[in-house]
Structure 1
Amino acid sequence: MRIWSLHPSLLDRRALVACWRETLLAQKVLRGLTRGYTNHPQLIRFRAHPQPLEAVAAYLSGLEDEADARGYSFNRELIGAGEDSADKSENPYASVALIPVPLGQLEYELAFLRHKVAGRDPEWEHRLSERLAARGGLAACAHPLFEVVAGTIEPWEKTKEF
C-alpha cells in the first residue's frame, strides 16, 4: 500500500490509479470493514488524525480531482466519511485538520516515484521535473491534505534503496 504525500499532479497514471485503489482500501480498514491491512504503517497518520474518516475522504477527493483534470473516471461516490459525511461538492479540506508531513518524507517519496517512473514511463519523468518547477519546488508539492514541516523521513516509512 502506498498513500503518497506528494501532490496527485506529480503521480504518473499508474501511481495515481494505484493510490486511488489503495486509499479506498485504507478507507475500508478505517471503517472496520476488512480484516486485511489493519496494521499497515501507511495508516498510522490517518489513525492519529482526530477525524480519520474525514481525513481519508479529503485525501481521496484530492486524488479524484486530479483524475477529473486528466479525464479519468474515478467514482466519487466511493468516497465517504461515514454515515454523516458532508455534501461531497463542498471543499473537503475546509473542516479537516491538515496532517503534518516532514520535508524529508516528501524528498524520499519523490526519489521513490522517480525510481518507479524511470522504469515504466520515462516521458513522465521529464513531465515530473516540469511540474515540480511549476509548483515552485518540493516544499509546495504536498497533497492538499498535508502541511509540510521540517523533518526527516517518517518513522513508519519502510524505506528502500534505489
Structure 2
Amino acid sequence: MDAADRDGTPVEDLLAPFLGGEVFEPGFSSHGTLRLRLVSRGQESGLRYGPFLTVRTRVWRVDTPSGPLVAGMDSVRFIQQAVQCLAGEHFSSVRVKYVSLDTTFVFGTFSLRVFPDSFHNPNEEGPDWTWSLKDGEAIYAGPAGRWSLRKVGRPDG
C-alpha cells in the first residue's frame, strides 16, 4: 500500500495511540538492527509493555537540537552507547514523506530519521522499519517506497 492502509488510515494515525509512550531499553544489534520498545507507566498496574520500533536499514540518524548525534553507519559499539540517550524519552510525533517513506520519529528532544535505502534499490528485500501494533499486526515500511499492515511473521499479510 502506498499512502494508506486498507481503511484509508495514514501511518501517522495508526501510530497516534502510542504517543506519550516511553522508550525502554533501546538497543542496537551487532547485525545492524536498531530496536526501541515503548512502555507506559500506570499508577496501579506499573509498567505496561508496548510496541517495538525496529529499524533494519542502516540509513538512519538520531538528531539533537544542536545537530546529529549518531547514525546507522557508525561503529556498532558507538551506536550501542549513543542510543541509550533515548531511554526515558517520550514518543511525541511521527512524520512520513509518502512516496519515499522518509520517516521522522520524535522522542522528546531527539529525532530519529529513517532514510529508506530500498527506495533507490528496489531489489532490496525486507522492510526499512516495522512498528508492532496490537492484535499481532505490524506496520511494515519498505522496500521500494511501499508500506503495509500485516500480521506479524507473515510476509504477505
TM-score (norm. length: structure 1): 0.24
TM-score (norm. length: structure 2): 0.25
Which of the pair is proportionally richer in strand?
2
